[in-house]
Amino acid sequence: MPRITRNSLLQDFRDLDEDDASSVVRAAKAIRDARNMREVERQMDKIDRLIGGHGVEALYFKEGLGIRGFASEMEDELLAVFVNTGDLYNPTVLWDAKKDTVTLTSWGDFTERLPRKYRGW
């Protein structure tokens, strides 16, 4: 998955200006340095506003049920947090909770690359 750079953001988000792209890069770094989930959420909300997203969402896994967009129980496993950009294959900023990395990808591509255990197909 591509690393987040100012240039990659400017290429994928045509309405983003250079200052906002730099702010997204800084927010992505802050996510990598975050010590708790609240800080991850705060930085993802900031990225959402900067790239003109439709809110921040998460992907969870539950044995026997597969991947879902919500957690119903405490034992649900958080896989990723991402900015909803309107379509599952639109570019977005995604935090991979398992690898603790922030990337520029789509959440559709992310789920396709998950190990078989998570995909369920």
Report yes or no: 91 and 104 within 8 Å, Cβ to Cβ.
yes
Q: What is the pLDDT of residue 21?
A: 97
Residue 56, in any domain of the structure = yes
Alpha-carbon distance of 57 to 62, in angstroms, equals 16
Mean pLDDT of the 46-55 span: 97
**Amino acid 59: pLDDT:** 86
Q: What is the mean pLDDT of the chain?
A: 87
In a domain, 98, yes or no: yes
The reply to whether 1 falls in a domain is: no
For residue 110, pLDDT over 60 is answered with: yes
Span 5-31, mean pLDDT?
A: 96
Read off the pLDDT band of 55 (50, 70, 90): very high
Question: Is a pLDDT exceeding 60 seen at residue 105?
Answer: yes
Phi-psi region of 98 (alpha: psi -120 to 50; beta: other; left: phi over 0): alpha
Q: Is residue 105 part of a domain?
A: yes
Domain assignment present for 121: no
The total of structural domains in the chain comes to 1
Burial level of 66, CB count in 10 A (0-12/13-18/19+)?
middle
Closest-CA residue to 4 (of 15, 22, 19) = 22
Of 42-46, 49-53, 88-92, 107-111, minimum mean pLDDT range: 107-111
Cβ count within 10 A of residue 33: 9
Residue 61 lies in a domain: yes
Domain housing 42: 6-115
